[in-house]
């Protein structure tokens, strides 16, 4: 089993490499995000241990490059901040587990072994909420058996709303996740997109799923969740 450790702090990196080597793994150590991303996308690893706080290309950036390159090995990320936002962000980018710094080596080893047993990260291929099905592989949406045509942005927007259904998503989050832009309050691009998506998803169907929460954002919710 070959592991990649991406960690800029010399002591922690050396300690992880030594510990994991002693535990029987082949270990490569990258000390920058750029090196880490390069190795992770060109060499073949069974798992990556990824520090979030890296100078230059940070852990999120490395994570993104790994998944964009189509690499599906599990990623365990190390975060010193331990905020829920960090955890959520990491998991959304496709990380499989996280560990707060400082951690006991035995804990890290246990997580690594669990992830390796679980095998390669598997995305669910179809998201389902109520009678809506979103097929990630075929880029297809069906509600109550009826095919619904969406633009690429509408598809991304619906995917985000479905992944985090029953959660009010602020416009700023939608802007960054779907349009990859900072929220600019002068633009009504999100309102327009939500209106169009709602017309396709909710008009002619029961119940309504996409709701506006005034002053806060949008939520996709079934009546049972409300």
Residues in contact with Ca ion by the rule CB under 5 A? 8, 51, 53
| Comparison of 82 and 204: residue with beta carbon closer to Ca ion | 82
**CB 75, CB 47: distance < 8 Å:** yes
What minimum distance in Å lies between the beta carbon of 83 and Ca ion? Answer: 16
| Comparison of 75 and 158: residue with beta carbon closer to Ca ion | 75
What minimum distance in Å lies between the beta carbon of 101 and Ca ion? Answer: 8
| Comparison of 16 and 134: residue with beta carbon closer to Ca ion | 16
| Comparison of 81 and 128: residue with beta carbon closer to Ca ion | 81
63 contacts: CB under 8 Å, gap ≥ 6: 50, 75, 77, 90, 93, 94, 95
**CB 183, CB 176: distance < 8 Å:** yes
Choose among 126, 143, 122: nearest CA to 200.
143
| Comparison of 51 and 154: residue with beta carbon closer to Ca ion | 51
Number of alpha carbons in the 13 Å side-chain half-sphere of residue 91: 12
155 contacts: CB under 8 Å, gap ≥ 6: 134, 139, 141
| Comparison of 8 and 86: residue with beta carbon closer to Ca ion | 8
168 DSSP 8-state letter: P
Give the 3-state secondary structure of residue 90: helix
What minimum distance in Å lies between the beta carbon of 84 and Ca ion? Answer: 20
Q: Rounded distance, CA 85 to CA 193, Å? A: 25
What minimum distance in Å lies between the beta carbon of 153 and Ca ion? Answer: 35
CA distances from residue 190 to 50, 166, 173 in whole angstroms, order as listed: 33, 19, 11
What minimum distance in Å lies between the beta carbon of 48 and Ca ion? Answer: 15
What minimum distance in Å lies between the beta carbon of 172 and Ca ion? Answer: 27
Residue number, nearest CB to Ca ion = 53
What minimum distance in Å lies between the beta carbon of 109 and Ca ion? Answer: 20
| Comparison of 80 and 216: residue with beta carbon closer to Ca ion | 80
**CB 7, CB 51: distance < 8 Å:** yes
120 DSSP 8-state letter: S
Give the 3-state secondary structure of residue 69: coil
């Amino acid at each position: 089993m070959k592991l990649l450790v991406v960690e800029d702090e010399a002591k922690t990196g050396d300690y992880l490499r030594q510990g994991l080597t002693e535990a029987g793994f082949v270990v490569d150590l990258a000390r920058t995000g750029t090196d880490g991303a390069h190795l992770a996308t060109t060499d073949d690893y069974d798992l990556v241990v990824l520090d979030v706080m890296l100078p230059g290309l940070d852990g999120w950036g490395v994570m993104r490059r790994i998944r964009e390159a189509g690499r599906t090995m599990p990623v365990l990320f190390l975060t010193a901040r331990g905020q829920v936002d960090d955890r959520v962000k990491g998991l959304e980018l496709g990380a499989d587990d996280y560990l707060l710094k400082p951690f006991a080596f035995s804990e890290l080893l246990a997580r690594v072994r669990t992830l390796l047993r679980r095998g390669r990260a598997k995305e669910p291929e179809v998201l389902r909420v109520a009678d809506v099905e979103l097929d990630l592989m075929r880029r297809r949406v069906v509600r109550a058996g009826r095919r619904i045509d969406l633009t690429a942005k509408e598809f991304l927007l619906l995917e985000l709303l479905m992944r985090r259904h029953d959660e009010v998503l602020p416009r700023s989050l939608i802007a960054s996740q779907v349009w990859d832009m900072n929220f600019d309050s002068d633009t009504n691009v999100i309102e327009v997109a939500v209106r169009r998506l709602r017309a396709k998803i909710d008009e002619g169907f029961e119940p309504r799923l996409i709701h506006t929460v005034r002053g806060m954002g949008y939520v996709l919710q079934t009546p049972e969740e409300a």
